[in-house]
Amino acid sequence: MVRRPIQIGIFIMLQKPRGTRDFLPDEMEARRSIETKLRGIARCWGYREVCTPEFENLDLFTMRSGEGIIDEMYVFEDKGGRKLALRPEITAAVIRMYINEACVAPKPIRWCYFADCFRYERPQKGRYRQFWQFGVELIGADTATADAEVIALAADMLDMTGVAYDLRVGHLAFLKNLLIDLEPPVQRSVMAYLDKKDFTGLAGALRELGKPDLVHSLTALAECRTLREAFEISGTVPERERIERTIMMLDAFGIRYSLDFGIVRGLDYYTGMVFEGFAGNLGAENQIIGGGAYRLSHLFGGDDVASCGFAIGFDRVMVSLGTIVSRKETVVAIASTSEGSIRVPDVARAFRAAGIRVEVDLMERGLGAQLAHAAKSADFAVVIGRREAEAGEVTLKNLHTGEQKTLDLAAAIAEVNAYGAC
């Protein structure tokens, strides 16, 4: 007797990593449709797409933000012992690429990107460990018009998506003026409290620093909504003329925004104008865009070029929009008898060449079963039986109305195209 080994199988259903998502075809189609429109707008404003690696040398991110940022990133060593990080954002990588590849290119440089980022954060609605950003970077234009163009482009893109949002524009000059006597690391810790809108923590920290009076002016600055008030609170700032001109340009662009001088921005490379946008229906993670003017290039060994940009949190925009029932494209199913099956490849090729989505039967079912299946997923059935095969024609059946006609191939394609166009 042959003895078989006893096999004990342990089946574990593997799950996706924490903070990541799968996207089924309906959702992907909705995402691609918005992504394509965002690309279209960027193109119309002269921003050309770039692509950088998913991972970079860790230094790229720690150089500006310090080792503390490591806790918020996916950091690893490769087999050669190099310290690498999955990109938590794209701006630093784009500036690295500018230094490596394009620092002598005529300015300004207008670039855009759509890419995934990785942050080791606690996942919740709208906060993921892998998420996508649509961003732009305008490199080498240090003017009010440049700042205004970037905000206007951001508004144009968000408007196109249909998301309801509230855009807030600020400038770091006011805060910096109030914090001028503090050492840069202390300034940074004060700004971190402001970024989180933690005014209690801020008051405690300022008391310890022996600067309790600052709480009043910082709170007033965060709450004021006009330029006049901001100048009153923090005194006049060297950038006054530029700020006024930026605001004038925003009005000329017809943008809906409010002023908010409490905006600090978490990534500490910003130098001037800053802005953020919030969607009303997202709960705690409601910031759908962030950006501003910054200088990073000199830190990475490049020239001290002024830049300005933003990144749209693509996933949050999609969550805010909710389920989008995108217009379904016309689908044609080809059903054939065994006599007609020889013509299926040619007929399918002709429809596909005309840009029409075609599905053919792969299950070798009978004609009735093929048509029953087609009715579940297609708009038209193209039937090829013996008679059609002999006559070089097809029977086109509209699966919504039941109406059917025998036509030559070109006429059938024209009919499907006309249906898709209306």
Determine which residue in the list 290, 335, 358, 412 makes contact with ligand HAM, applying CB under 6 A. Answer: 290
Measured from the CB atom, the residue of 137 and 361 that comes closer to ligand HAM is 137
Task: Give min distance, CB of 285 to ligand HAM, in A.
Answer: 7
Q: How far is the CB of 119 from ligand HAM (least distance, A)?
A: 5
State in angstroms the smallest separation of the CB of 89 from ligand HAM.
3
Distances (CA, A) of 119 to 69, 70, 338: 10, 10, 55
Q: How far is the CB of 227 from ligand HAM (least distance, A)?
A: 23
Residue number with the shortest CB distance to ligand HAM? Answer: 313
Q: Among residues 273, 275, 200, which one has the least CA distance to residue 239?
A: 273
Q: Does 119 bind ligand HAM (CB under 6 A)?
A: yes
Strand order in the sheet with 83-86: 55-57, 83-86, 75-77
Work out whether 135 is an interface residue with ligand HAM (CB under 6 A).
Answer: yes
CA neighbours within 13 Å on the CB side: how many for 73? Answer: 26
Which secondary structure element, helix H or strand E, spans residue 393, and what is its range? strand 393-398
Residue 128 near ligand HAM by CB under 6 A? yes
Q: In angstroms, how far is the first alpha carbon of the chain from the final one?
A: 72
CA dist., res. 205 & res. 193, Å (int): 9
Among 143, 217, 287, 417, binds ligand HAM (CB under 6 A): 287
* # chain residues binding ligand HAM, by CB under 6 A: 25
Mark the segment that binds ligand HAM (CB under 6 A) among 119-127, 171-179, 326-334, 413-421: 119-127
Tell me the torsion sign for CA atoms 319, 14, 24, 135.
positive
Q: Which stretch binds ligand HAM (CB under 6 A): 31-39, 45-53, 69-77, 282-290?
A: 282-290
Q: Does 260 bind ligand HAM (CB under 6 A)?
A: no
| Nearest alpha-carbon partner for 346 in 316, 380, 311, 384 | 384
CB-wise, 172 or 332, nearer to ligand HAM?
A: 172
229 binds ligand HAM (CB under 6 A): no
Q: Does 310 bind ligand HAM (CB under 6 A)?
A: yes
Quick one: which of 353, 398, 354 has its CA closest to 375? 398
Nearer to ligand HAM, 291 or 340 (CB): 291
Region from 41-49, 139-147, 228-236, 284-292 binding ligand HAM, contact rule CB under 6 A: 284-292
- Residue 55 burial (CB count, 10 A): 18
Question: Cβ 294 to ligand HAM, closest distance in Å?
Answer: 6
- The Cα–Cα gap between 114 and 43 comes to 13
Which of 283, 278, 295 is closest to 141 using CA atoms? Answer: 295
Residue 315 binds ligand HAM, judged by CB under 6 A = yes
Assess 313 for contact with ligand HAM (CB under 6 A).
yes
Task: Report 261-280 residues binding ligand HAM (CB under 6 A).
Answer: 266-267
CB of 121 to ligand HAM, least distance (A): 5
Q: Which of 111, 113, 131, 174 binds ligand HAM (CB under 6 A)?
A: 131
Phi, psi for 106 (deg, rounded to 5): -60, 140
Contacts 24+ apart (CB under 8 A), 87-90: 87/52, 87/53, 87/54, 87/55, 87/56, 87/61, 87/115, 87/117, 87/118, 88/61, 88/117, 88/118, 88/119, 89/117, 89/133, 89/267, 89/311, 90/52, 90/115, 90/117, 90/133, 90/135, 90/311
* Position 309 contacts ligand HAM (CB under 6 A): yes
Choice between 284 and 421, CB closer to ligand HAM? 284
Binding site residues, ligand HAM, CB under 6 A: 89, 91, 119, 121, 127-128, 131, 133, 135, 137, 266-267, 287-292, 294, 309-311, 313, 315-316
